[in-house]
Structure 1
Amino acid sequence: MKSQPAPEASGCTTSSCGSSDGPSDMAPEVWEKVKNHPCYSEEAHHYYARMHVAVAPACNIQCNYCNRKYDCANESRPGVVSEKLTADQAVRKVLAVAAEIPQLSVVGIAGPGDSLAAGAKNTLNTFDQLSQLAPDIKLCLSTNGLALPDYVHRLKATNIDHVTITINMVDPEVGQHIYPWIFHNHKRYTGIEASRILHERQMLGLEMLQEAGILAKINSVMIPGINDEHLIDVNREVKKRGAFLHNIMPLISDAAHGTHFGLTGQRGPTAQELKALQDKCEGDMKLMRHCRQCRADAVGLLGEDRGSEFTAEKVMLMDVDLDGAGFEKRETYREHVESERATRHASKAAAIAEVAHIAGEKPILVAVATKGGERINEHFGHAKEFQIYEVTAKGAKFVGHRRVDLYCEGGSGDEDGLETIINAINDCVAVFVAKIGGCPSKSLEAAGIEPVDSYAFEYIEESALAYYASYTERLGSGAIHEKIGADASIRQGAYTARRA
């Protein structure tokens, strides 16, 4: 008998940023910090929303992969915003969003420059107000780490217990190819000297966060031919200094973005290159694989952006509750999620037990079309992204996501769009969907990808395990042949226009 769909309250419209571990895999005090944080917990991102407020336009370093854009609605990548905000505007916007989106659990500052540059005035002012007006919402920030050692004690005093540092190298020889310059102590540095100072400050800041009891997530951009293999060293060094989570992201290098790497033709990694590096770094160090490389003003569940609903102009016209801002709705929603989680943990354990007899089989990858809630609940033609799971008899593990063009636009299928979808998931043996038409099914089958709609609205992981049992049985009987995996492409460029 099929289970019934969960309430629409939960969801993540499109997964990768965090640990998939549960309460049994970490200290209780750490679990309490991460369980509702969609960027620190893979499980949480199915249920909880985040928002970034763009109050930090200044930056103290230059990265060859970055070009900040302050009035851009058609790109989805770090450093891009539609409008910059003052601290007061940001606080009002947070309270407006908190009242409308009960899934909101985290407010972060991630630029569009560096959150701690220029004295961190706007960042700290914003956090000081929010800690008083919405104390149930977690506060976090992202930084390149150059100024971090100067602010760790101040962040601790503001009850910030999550900090993300972008660390792309631990060797200045490598760093000089990523960072043209830094600005530190009123002086500009270039070359190896700039990278050396940045490296030393990043390591010091990370150590200070560990001493202060603040969880640190490390973001690293994988740049083939420059730091790809070196990121194994980065992983080792940040782990030694107590980092909680490592997020290895693909370089976005479209020439249209105007970055140095984009204009000089530096390529990003393929899906297989990225996964291979992540697999090498995974072990005692938790790896985040659901990161969306969000805009600096993103609002909503991971993979969606509702920022256009909450522009500064629209927020000024809203009747914003400055006392509570929807606290009761958020509390009710959290209670629902905790109940859902208990059911999910038991269901996953039972599904793994069902396939425990299968031994020695190779892992397979499956793609999933989902609107969220950990269910297969999206039509193939409506998917903007496919979540990728690696499945064995030990479980179904989320390992990434692939953004795609919509196949269905205006009620008809786009054959060019179908080709890009196949290119994005052609390392998968199957794609799970709620519904799919005959034409795309035939094209997928011709590419060696089995379209599966028999698990519509079922839970993803349990369905993946049931499929794995069927797949291995058919493989053993000779009914099907093992697919020779092809490389898959990671979508580059301005792939997600903001909702009008």
Structure 2
Amino acid sequence: MSSSAKTNTKSCASSCHPSSGAASAGLNRATLDKVAQHPCYSPTAHHRYARMHLAVAPACNVQCHYCNRKFDCANESRPGVVSEVLSPNDAIRKAKAVAAAIPQLSVIGIAGPGDPLANPTRTFDTLEGLRSALPDVKLCVSTNGLALPASVDALVKLGVDHVTITMNAIDAHVSANIYDWFYFEGRRLQGRQGAQLLIDQQIEGLRKLVERGVLVKINSVLIPGINDAHLPEVSDAIRGMGAFLHNIMPLIARPEHGTFFGLNGQREPLPYELDQVRDLCGGSMPQMSHCQQCRADAVGMLGEDRSQEFNLEQLPPQSEPYHNTMQRRTRIQAALSTQGASEDEDACLVAVASESGEAIDQHFGHARRFHIYAVSSEGAVRVGERHVPLYCHGASECDESEQHNNLMTVLDLLSDVDAVFCARVGMAPWQQLEEAGIAPVVDHAWQPIRESLQSWWSQRATAISRSAIRRGVA
């Protein structure tokens, strides 16, 4: 990193972001940045970054014919299977241990073993705890969508900007053959009535998420003879609603799994059938082809599952503050994002307050997250983010003690960066930033992020070079 204890980081802006598949088709830079470290959303990130699923949601509000939620099934690797259901507190403890052991961990999701939004207290307690305890990790939720519309605001507030919806049909006649029952607002529904309700809720939730800037991946289970001919229609519809990615997965229906489909002889699709449907749908939506149909407690890179290494009784005692873990993780993830260039001496880390993700357009005191960039002579690469407490709630609501504590927390979370870029910053935080050895920069307010960072770096490098020359002459 740079001199002293700061992180040494160099970019490679042209080569470090996904450039194929779903992550390249006419997307803006802010969207590319969102998916660059997400192994499920990027066709290249899954080779470098790990994910973790926390099994805190045992109940479900929909009974799918292909699902049987099992516990203590260490030898099965499929959705709905876990070895242990966690309390929110245990989930956070496990997440810290995994983050310390697997620095490539970039995303933590809640995907079951039931539906996260059918377990709102357990799910949101976990998400809130994760957001506070692991401020640098992306949060994800996977849901059937039945309870999604009412949950969108809470998800967005917690900084969840990736949501997966399992949508197997947009026609109630088709959908009714995939589900047994639906439980909604105290009512148990079946057949086409319940299927139509599910579809309506999924569509409403999808539209709300897209309006709020959340990236939505649609999962669809390919079921021969039921929805195989219908999935191109699904793909076309979700494109119009603003979905980001379509993930068509093969049905798993083996008798030993105890599902309705498995016990009643519903066959699984053949590989060529899956390829054909993906090809047909690919004309409408980018297709995810690297999905591993992970367990609801999966840990590690896609294609591997290290969940059995992190059962509760095996978790080590917390040996260091997460602050130290976070900074070490940032260095490693910066190296991954910049193909190793982050270790060069002329590189540094900076934080950017940006609401849009494209311009420096946010006041320091209004930022709930800072984008972390690696900057060097080769450019700027976004290497992560830090979620922070809101420093300023507005003059009428400010409590001086709370403001001070929040500012100290923000400074602590940004202690490894060399500069903070924002549209504006007040005098008090300006002074505190300088005292902490962090340069506040407002000269590039409302300007594009990367160009601004490169301009600042060039001026900084010139000043450092001249200073070194003067010292040498002296």
TM-score in same-fold range (> 0.5): yes
User: Which residue does the alignment assign to 2:79?
Assistant: 78
User: CA deviation digits over 1:368-389, x for unaligned, max 9?
Assistant: xxxxxxxxxxxxxxxxxxxxxx
After superposition, residues 209-224 of structure 1 pair within 5 angstroms as 209-224=209-224
User: Which residue does the alignment assign to 2:275?
Assistant: 275
Change (3 A) 1:194 1:332: same
User: CA deviation digits over 1:156-191, x for unaligned, max 9?
Assistant: 000000000000010110011101100001010011
Deviation, 1:340, is 2.3
- Give the partner amino acid of 2:99: A
Deviation, 1:130, is 1.2
Q: Distance in 1 between matches of 2:89 and 2:228?
A: 41
User: Which residue does the alignment assign to 2:135?
Assistant: 135
User: Which residue does the alignment assign to 1:235?
Assistant: 235
User: CA deviation digits over 1:411-448, x for unaligned, max 9?
Assistant: xxxxxxxxxxxxxxxxxxxxxxxxxxxxxxxxxxxxxx
User: Which residue does the alignment assign to 1:94?
Assistant: 95
After superposition, residues 129-168 of structure 1 pair within 5 angstroms as 129-168=129-168
User: Which residue does the alignment assign to 1:28?
Assistant: 29
- Give the partner amino acid of 1:340: Q
RMSD, matched Cα: 1.8
Change (3 A) 1:261 1:114: same
Q: Distance in 1 between matches of 2:338 and 2:25?
A: 17
SS in structure 1 of the partner of residue 109 of structure 2: strand
User: Which residue does the alignment assign to 2:177?
Assistant: 177
- Give the partner amino acid of 1:127: L
Change (3 A) 1:174 1:59: same
CA contact (8 A) 1:245 1:287 kept: yes
Change (3 A) 1:138 1:229: same
Count how many residue pairs are aligned between Structure 1 and Structure 2: 324
- Give the partner amino acid of 1:44: A
User: Which residue does the alignment assign to 2:189?
Assistant: 189
- Give the partner amino acid of 1:125: D
- Give the partner amino acid of 1:295: R
Give the structure-1-normalised TM-score: 0.63
SS in structure 2 of the partner of residue 288 of structure 1: coil
Q: Distance in 1 between matches of 2:229 and 2:324?
A: 47
Deviation, 1:325, is 5.9
User: CA deviation digits over 1:229-255, x for unaligned, max 9?
Assistant: 101111111111100000000000111
- Give the partner amino acid of 2:181: W
User: Which residue does the alignment assign to 2:335?
Assistant: 336
User: Which residue does the alignment assign to 2:368?
Assistant: none
Change (3 A) 1:111 1:24: closer
- Give the partner amino acid of 1:29: A
Structure 1 gaps of 5+ residues are: 1-17, 343-500
User: CA deviation digits over 1:343-401, x for unaligned, max 9?
Assistant: xxxxxxxxxxxxxxxxxxxxxxxxxxxxxxxxxxxxxxxxxxxxxxxxxxxxxxxxxxx
User: Which residue does the alignment assign to 2:411?
Assistant: none
CA contact (8 A) 1:95 1:320 kept: no
CA contact (8 A) 2:23 2:43 kept: no
Q: Distance in 2 between matches of 1:289 and 1:325?
A: 36
Change (3 A) 1:322 1:92: farther
SS in structure 2 of the partner of residue 274 of structure 1: helix
User: Which residue does the alignment assign to 2:66?
Assistant: 65
- Give the partner amino acid of 1:281: C
CA contact (8 A) 2:22 2:245 kept: no
Give the structure-2-normalised TM-score: 0.66
CA contact (8 A) 1:164 1:217 kept: yes
Change (3 A) 1:174 1:320: farther
SS in structure 2 of the partner of residue 180 of structure 1: strand
Change (3 A) 1:76 1:287: same
CA contact (8 A) 2:22 2:244 kept: no
CA contact (8 A) 1:133 1:324 kept: no
